[in-house]
Structure formats: structure tokens, C-alpha cells
Structure 1
């Protein structure tokens, strides 16, 4: 089997396609076109989820590998009389990322800016606090001028950032969460050699509640489901106070679990059989693996584990600095290793309960 590789050109294509929650079709179409030569079938459901299937032996397991197509965005709620766009946030934004940013709005990608209050008019407290009451300025002076730009309430806006190369093997851009994982799936699909039936899924609306995963998990109903993600790295000066827990360049992260609080509410607890399967594959692939719990967020694995009668589910992730920002930053070496681990896992028998402790 050829070594799976994540292609920068794929990543450029996937990031260039914009995919706010609920309007991910450009990303879904880009993924479908790229994966189609390497699978037996490609299908869409009514939500916009894509499932590309490589058929295997009927007696072998069915495995779902999934990454999501949506990205953080804002929803235009209203247009003011003087032509500014008021918005609601879609997904887990940090308000500090907004002032001074450029965005693309609506179906035609109209350029807009999110301008901060001039420092000259700020009080002392305002200079040290997060901005409030921000709007998008597209250069219009009235509601009518906004309408002429084909922008209206209900449209979306995403950051005006593409993917770019930094020094070494590092790349940066918006929406690497989760376009990088889609590029990982493409690397696996191009090279996988397995008896298993493999479903490569591109799910929608992950950032607003794992909604696409619920539909995909129900319709596919695999034996094992793995969410492919990014994982927040903390290996930089503002990353954390206790030293890095997850670092760029140290290999993919196999999750123990995740959740929305320190008590791991609303997330996934990964069973030992699934972890053992991924870890064994990592050893066989010669990959470095990191292990961690993600607090303050969840993955599609949560829905995959619970839907229908339940199944084995877990998550493997590429470390990423500055998550949920316009400048997410990753190491391509980590992405290559993630693809290698998944490709090896597809050739590794899933362990029986005799091989690992119950659970």
C-alpha cells in the first residue's frame, strides 16, 4: 500500500469553498468531486451530508470515517437603515477575534469588514475589554444598497482568509477545523487496501450541535465510527499555564473522551476496544501518538456512539493552534501521520473483548 498523504492542493480547494452551518454545499461538492475516483459510490442526504463508500467483504466490518464540512460563521439577522449588517454568531466563537477582521457575505461573497470602535473614542475600560455591538460594514449606505449587493437577512458571513504556508511544514488559515480532516480522509481513500466496507463521510452542522452526524450515523449504521478532527494545542505562550498538553509536530491525538465541561457532560467516552484499535494501528504505522481529553467541546463521535442501538466510536485529531480563529495553524506532518494511522487501522482487525478489558 502506498503511504497516504495529505495534499496541500486538496486543502486549498476545500478551504476556498465556504461552508457556514446550514449552507455547506460548496464544501460537500468539492469533497465529493475529489473522493469520487477512489470509491464505489457517492451519495448525499437531504441535510447535505456526503457519504462516499468503498465496498468490501460482506462479512468484514463496516467502518465510518467522518469529518465535518461546516465552519464558524455569522448569520445576518438584520440590516440597519444606514446599511450595516447586524449578526448572530454560529458556533463557538471568541468575541476577541472579530474586531478588525474582513468577512465574505452572502452567496456572492461580498467583502465586508467588522470595524472596532475607534480607540480615540474609547474609555479606559473599553480599551482593555472585548468589543460589543459590532456590525459588518459592506460599504453600503442604506437597506436598498445592501439589497443591490444580493445580501439579505438569513445570509451567512465567514472570515476572509484562505490557507497559506508558514515556515517548515506549518500551514495556517480559517476552517482548518475541519477541512484538514477532510483532506486526511482523501489521503486515506486514495490508498486504503482493506476487506472492510469503508464509508468516508462529510457531515454538516457539527459546529452548531453535531446535527449532521446524527443523520449520518443513523443512515449508515456502521460497526465502528471514527470522527476525524483537529485538537486544540496549547504549546505556545498564551496556550496554558501548566505546560503543553498537546503539541504540534508530535503526532495525532487519540481522544479518551470529550465534553462541554470539566465533568465531560454531553460528549463521548471512548471505549477501550476502539482506543486499542487506533493505538495498535499507530504502532504498526510507526506514528507518534498523543492522548488527551478535550474539555469545552465535543465531536461527531458523540452522536455516532449513541444513534440507533449504539456502536463503538472514537476520535482521532490533528493538533491545531489558535482553534476557532481565522488563523488556525497545524503541522502537515501530523496530518500525514493521522492518515497513516487510519489507513493502517482499516487493515487491523478490531479487537475482541478477550483482547482488552471489558468496556
Structure 2
């Protein structure tokens, strides 16, 4: 398919996926939408009882099994308690920045009941209160009801998920899109498009594309998916913060930009020197495969190490599955992480899907996963 057509198709798919509420633990609607996209092109599609999605396409020749998976969930909130006067206490699910919550519009539950995260009037705040960031335990959601009964009549109940009320906006340059849940509906878009592009099965081995559940609350689904599929190697498709804004003057700290190609996280995770953490390191054979396809197709790839931050991907958990699965983190740069206005460039998604297609169709037949091959 011609690149412009692929980009338009992926843009429409991304807008569709980001319109769905799928906070950690309640990803069902996202998984349904992905399964519907995958079924016409896959040999089989399955959803585990935990909530992991897999779609399998068997190639025309013998070869290894590669798992290429995103995660289906997004950050958000969970209704904790319904007060008698109609306000809602809530918990955060995932890394929602506390300084982004006050005064935000939210949607609650599958019915998208509108609400706002309440804020004390600025006229009544003390100078100290105006400077203080309040956490979720000190805030509440207002759904304009005067009693718990009214709230329940709207269909809201404890445990319902909520998200920032935001949809995708196209910037003046239509290649740039912003909105909530780009992390990781962008990855969901990539794996669905990849399955379509590889639907003729003209490759060696087996392609499994997937979507894990509950990544944002501890990469819960990844280890289970690795055990279930037991692939020869895995590529975790996710997003990564870009360092190309004025508040990131140290380019060496986060040396990637949006619109300059997908990024390979050569090493990423929390600094484990003083406490337990998580860590992922790209397998040399997967690095070579990406380098080969970048050169063959003339497509850019950004390379970086991202260690010492509270940032990693499902790749860190795949390393513990089975006998330890060779893995890589392949990430789409985006600005304003975990905010309602995550901003990315569609060309990075298209480049990524082209590179992944090249790995499946050209590299899978000869990939040498021997760790001592270099």
C-alpha cells in the first residue's frame, strides 16, 4: 500500500482507538476494537481471561516466532467512594501527574458521564494554597448531583474508570496529532496495521501481534503473555517522552524528537543501584535487524539509553517470561507524557510499521538470536 494511504488509514485508526475509554483493568472496549481490526487478516485471534489479546499469522516458510505487542490500557482514575452529597472520591491509576488534575473535565464510565475535578475558588485561596499541588486523596469529582442516589441513577458505581475528557486534535500541520491516550493507542494502531500489511503470509516463521493489559500499573499482562506465546523474540511497541521542548535544554538527557523516526531504547528502566527496579536491554540480534531495515529502507531510527527514570516498557517483563525472551523496546516519540495533550507525528508511526514489516518479511528468516554471535 502507498505510504500516504497507509498514513491516512493509521490516522483514522488512531482517532478511533483514542476515542475509547480503556483505563487499566477495564480495557475490554479497546480489545474489542482491536480484535475487530485484526480478525480479517489473522489466522486466529484470542483474548485471555486476564485481558491479553493475541492475533496469529503463520508464514509460508519455517522460521522463528516473533511477538510484536503494544499495551491496550491508558492512565486514568477509579471511582473510590460516592459521598452522600453526590461528590466522588477517586484514586489515580497509573502515572497521572498530580499537577494536571485540578480543574480538569473528565468522563466517567462507558457512558462517558461528564464531571470535573473540583477546585477551591482562587478568590478564597491563601497564597500557600495557590502554590500547593493537591493529590488525588485531597480532591473530588463533581458530576452536578446533590445525592448519592442521583449519582447512581446516572449509572456510576464504585470502581468505574474515568479519563481526562479530551479527543484528538489535528495541528496546523496535519501530520501532528495531540490528545489523551496516545500512550499507547499509537502502539495499538501500529500492531493492527502491521498484521494487515503481513496478511499474505509471505514470510518465514510466525507473526504474533498482541496487546497486553494493565501495563500502566506495573506491566501486569506482559509476563503472562510471554509465558503464553513463548516466542523466540519479542518487540514491545510503546511510546517514549521526547526531549525537544524548551523545558528540556539538556539534549543529552533525552536526545530524541518527534518526527525524526521511532526510537529504540537500548537500555531503559529505573536505576537499580540502591533498590529493586525494572530494566530492559535490547538484544543484539534485534538491534541488528532494526539497523538492517533502517538502512535498506532509508528510514530514520533514533537510539537512546533511558536509565534512571520511572520509565520502561513491557520489554522489562518479557525478560522474565519462559526461559527469558530476547526483547527490544521500540517506541514512538511523543511530547507531554501522561497528559490530555500528548503530541506525536504520524510519520513516526508509519516509519515504525514499515520497519517492523521489513523485520518480519526480510529479517525473520535469517535472524541469529545466539547471544554470543557478535
TM-score by length of 1: 0.94
How far 1:358 moved relative to its partner? 5.2
2:286 is aligned to: 274
5+ long unaligned stretches in structure 1: none
Shift of 1:115: 2.3
**Residue aligning to 2:162:** 157
Structure 2 residue aligned with 1:7: 10
Q: Please give the secondary structure, in 1, of the residue aligned with 2:343.
A: strand
Equivalent position to 2:243, from 234, 257, 263: 234
Native 8 Å contact 2:226 2:325 kept in 1? no
Measure how far apart 1:285 and its partner are.
2.1
Q: Does 1:77 align with 2:80?
A: yes
1:275-314 mapped onto 2 (5 Å cutoff):
275-294=287-306, 295-314=309-328
- Match in the other structure for 1:88: 91
**CA drift at 1:12:** 1.3
Pairwise CA RMSD: 2.0
> Quick check: 1:262–1:296 contact (8 Å CA) kept in 2?
no
Secondary structure in structure 2 of the residue aligned to 1:316? strand
How many aligned positions are there? Answer: 358
Shift of 1:242: 4.2
- Cα offset, 1:142, TM superposition: 1.3
CA distance in structure 2 between the partners assigned to 1:146 and 1:187 by the alignment: 40
Structure 1 counterpart of 2:28, from 13, 25, 36: 25
For residues 1-359 of structure 1, what are the structure 2 equivalents within 5 Å? 5=7, 7-57=10-60, 59-132=62-135, 133-168=138-173, 169-192=175-198, 193-242=202-251, 245-261=255-271, 265-294=277-306, 295-346=309-360, 347-349=362-364, 350-352=366-368
Query: What's the TM-score once normalised by structure 2's chain length?
Result: 0.91
CA-CA distance at 1:273 after TM superposition: 1.8
Q: 1:222 to 1:40 in 2, by over 3 A?
A: same
Post-superposition shift, 1:262?
7.2
- Within 2, Cα distance between the matches of 1:114 and 1:353? 50
- Is residue 225–residue 305 contact of structure 1 (8 Å, CA) maintained in 2? no
Q: Please give the per-residue CA displacement for 1:305-351, whole angstroms capped at 9, x wherever unaligned.
A: 22011121111111000011111000001111111111111121454
